[in-house]
Structure 1
Amino acid sequence: MPHCSDLQKICQRIREKSTNYDRYNFTSEFNDFLKAFFDLAQEYDSLEDFYRICVAVPLEMIGLDSALYLLDEETRELYLACDSIQGICPQKTVAPENVTLSIEPYECENSYIVPIYSKMPSGGGGLFEEIEQEERAHRCLSNKAYNRNRILGVFSVFPLDKLSADDRFFLSKYTNRIGYNLHNRLIALQNIDHLKFINTLVMDIEHNVIVPNMYFRHLFNKLRKKIAELEDLRNEIRKTNGPELASYQCESCLSRCDRLGDDLLFYHSEIVKHHSNISLFLESLFRREHFESGHLVLHPKRCFVEKEIILPQLENYASRLRSANITVDRPNNMLDEEFQLIVDIGLLSQVYANLFSNATKYTGEVITRKGGKRKAIAYGREVVDDFPECGEQGVKFNVFSTGPHLDPEEAPRIFQEGVRGKGSKGIYGTGHGLAFIQHVVELHGGIVGYEKTSEGNNFFFILPVSYVK
């Protein structure tokens, strides 16, 4: 019966596989070995459980110990992930010097070590070819083939004296299966991480771009009202009759024109500043590297934090702080003593934007020690010792606001995604801003924190001096 043309290629591969299986002539024990591995690989989802399966199946099925070493893509070093003696390695332990990457299996002291490929090379004298060339199993790969098929690590089986030639051949096939499964799991986890990142980035964009962008609507409404006032003024001037009345009305109209001109210039300035700020945020959130890597990628540059980050953000929120009757206390020494810091200006600007945005919403009035009333925010920075390690230094940046303290039970969780304090009831927010701050600060190697003060609350973050040049 002729095959469907659409299936011809796959059917050909099936026939080739069937021929290969006849040639392999695996024992029933080896066949059960592979069945157990495949069944368990489908049953368990986590990566660590897969590592356990890789070393447990040889132990239980044929009584051989084994160790799984994986390649760290950044350091290019092999590290022990799991073995049949201790299970999962709790810490990242570098492989012994005699366990190295190789494009073909080799003996090392009392172990037989096989490379783990993401996809086994085939053709052109490759390693462990599936079709009619098993005798070339130990031939070195060409550089082209090697580059095309990534090595994920090595699989070590011991003791050597228990391994026959058939055992070694079978273990090479088993290691191939480990590579296929590991590659697919790593790709799946990478895709999951990318989806999580995109979901978080969408929240970042909503919180730091879309919601602040609503301020444009407010400014446009203000401009529309001023333009309507100008039209009314034109109509009033047209109705002017009589020299004395005309002189009085002209002076009044000129005065109103001056006020309207000042207002229009102010709103124009606000739109320009806000547009510049939103453009900075868009650039830092829509970088190609973010989407390619699946996480935020820093573009660090030298900058003076107060002059280039804090003051532009403070100016952007100045009118809203004035509308809320909030005064701003500025440090006396920060400009004189400021040093350059290497940070991502766009992302750190959003950190301060979130802090100042929260200040406009949550700053409360307090009674000072002298009996007066005070509603204010303040910012500053100080050098701290023993951060991130003993004997090192860090820079602590503070944003203080007056008002009631956070609930003691809520304070430790305030930087978690979606968490909002009891005082936020009736105030618009998503609980994402402080979580975003923590994420960006930690990318810079720092930490975030909250502390109550005598008159209110201080939110701070500390960056290591290693970022200071």
Structure 2
Amino acid sequence: MAGQNNNSADFALIRQRIRGKREDYKRYSFTADQNNILKTFFDLAQEFDSLADFYAICVLVLPQYMDVVCRLYISSDDGILQLVQASDGEPLSAPLPAPESHMNITEISRRGNTLLLPILLKGSTAKGGAGSGLFEVVFKRPISPQLRFFLEKFTNRIAVALSGRLASYQNVRHIEFVTNLVADIEHNIIIPNMYFRHLFNKLRKKIAEMSDLEEQIKAMKAAMGMTGNESCQHIIDKITDLHKSLTDYHQELDKHHKSSTLFIESLFRRDHFTQGQLVLRTRKCNVAREIVAPQLEQYERRLQSRGVTVEHPDDMRAEEIPLQVDVGLLSQVYANLFSNALKYTETVDVDGSGRQRKALAYGREYVRDCFGAGRDAIKFNVFTTGRHISPADADRIFDEGYRGTNVRGEMGHGHGLSFIKQVVEIHGGWVGYEPVLHGNNFWFCLPLPDDEAAPEPEAADS
């Protein structure tokens, strides 16, 4: 279908449309001047950039070829029709209200020696409303049906050209807004967020002072021979409990702050917005220790509260080959996978005997020739127990905005897995899903460094 965003062109359809247009133009039988009007409009619309100049072109081309007056009306953002330019009189520097008689015209209308032709801009949802307009042509003598038909086609050219121009201007405004927003985020969020680190350090010092005070009270109690004093011991116990609670809260806050800071700084990089895509900042790291462990720590308590057992691999950190990755973005890959595990892990009957399992497991394995001969990879897995995802859902589960039929009312926007796919692919990797025994496995493969190769598999025990 015309307009679809496919990777390959539909030659058959395009040839058919070209032949149709060729026959249409034969049937139109436009005069030489009418063809020149269309060509002049097209050439000048490409030559001049500003919207004011484009409005002027719309109303000035026809009067150069025929004895007419032209006026162009465009609806404002709130749907009010306004005169934006006219060929008679001085150029308008600001829009003027349209006559009441011109409002809500949805069909070509003839009023005496005036022809009113509605303009429906591309993307507009209703004629006569916001995103539409009106082209007025005033004649000094009667017009033929052929000229009326030509003016209808000319107005269509205005609508198409104006739609593209307005969309382009809107895109420029969006880019300018996003650019300014990034600067605001950097100034008002990222930099002030660094101050929390200072506050955490001060809190840690105060907790340390409380610990010293606790020891001093204990020493004072012993020195004053108050070993059996219950009131004194009660105060010491309260201070000890308070110290432990503050230490736990500090550690929890510190971990969440580090994770949030990592995500903020990796998502709101200026490079992402200036280049219009995610831009990597890679460094060599140990994925298990620097990425998986901190993210799992964020979710482990919540997983346990839902009855999900975390099954840690024996060899995740053993013989780990450091990879050159973007730590912030890859951390969010695991955060999304663990978040999905929290929502969708189910209890399964392991062997039909009633023994149940509700678990998350993760790990990695080496894959030889994953990206071609001699191009090995590490495959990272996150497994959860539960019913298999349906084949129909599995085919689309990494698509932006898609949510499977198994969501069961869980909150979400269908963005997490699409984000994972994007991050992994800009690392040069692949993502995938596979149904396995007792549940579902989401995986991604990342290429090993050029100077590394997957270890030889260990020989089986004899």
TM-score after normalising by structure 2:
0.49
TM-score scaled by structure 1?
0.48
